[in-house]
């Protein structure tokens, strides 16, 4: 009788462990990589914005081009700015948005790890992010 109870308890313990997805430890390298992706995307957008603008190319050559941070970039490309963009601008801005949300997700996971909030960490790891 005790053998069957032990077997059932073992089965339930194994089943519960396999049902709960494991979240991996998010390291600083993960954050660094995500931030690099944001910087690379901003660089690509910056190149696209300056491609046909002679003045902007001169400003870049002499390091006079303003620093490109996400808020400044979004201010510059908002619909009321009157700027015209090439066909790939929308895709580039979507890539930037996805890259920024990935950084934010990693920061939330790291915060949950530091505060030892396993449920928050697990929920954030299961969150696929932008699906629209």
pLDDT tens for 5-28 read 766 667 666 655 444 445 567 888
pLDDT bracket for residue 131 (50, 70, 90)? low
Instruction: Please tell me the distance from the alpha carbon of residue 114 to that of residue 111, in angstroms, as a whole number.
Output: 5
Predicted TM-score (pTM) above 0.75: no
Segment holding 130, helix H or strand E: none
pLDDT tens for 21-76 read 455 678 889 999 999 999 898 888 877 777 777 887 788 778 777 676 777 776 76
> Tokens 């901003």 map to which residue?
42
Under DSSP, the state recorded for 79 is G
């Amino acid at each position: 009788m005790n053998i069957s109870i032990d077997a059932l308890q073992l089965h339930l313990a194994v089943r519960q462990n396999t049902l709960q997805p494991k979240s991996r430890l998010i390291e600083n390298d993960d954050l660094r990589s995500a931030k690099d992706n944001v910087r690379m995307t901003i660089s690509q957008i910056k190149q696209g914005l300056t491609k046909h603008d002679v003045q902007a190319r001169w400003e870049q050559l002499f390091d006079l081009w303003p620093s490109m941070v996400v808020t400044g970039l979004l201010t510059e490309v908002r619909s009321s700015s009157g700027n015209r963009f090439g066909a790939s601008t929308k895709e580039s801005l979507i890539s930037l948005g996805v890259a920024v949300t990935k950084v934010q997700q990693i920061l939330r996971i790291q915060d949950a790890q530091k505060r030892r909030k396993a449920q928050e960490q697990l929920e954030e790891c299961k969150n696929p992010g932008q699906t629209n």
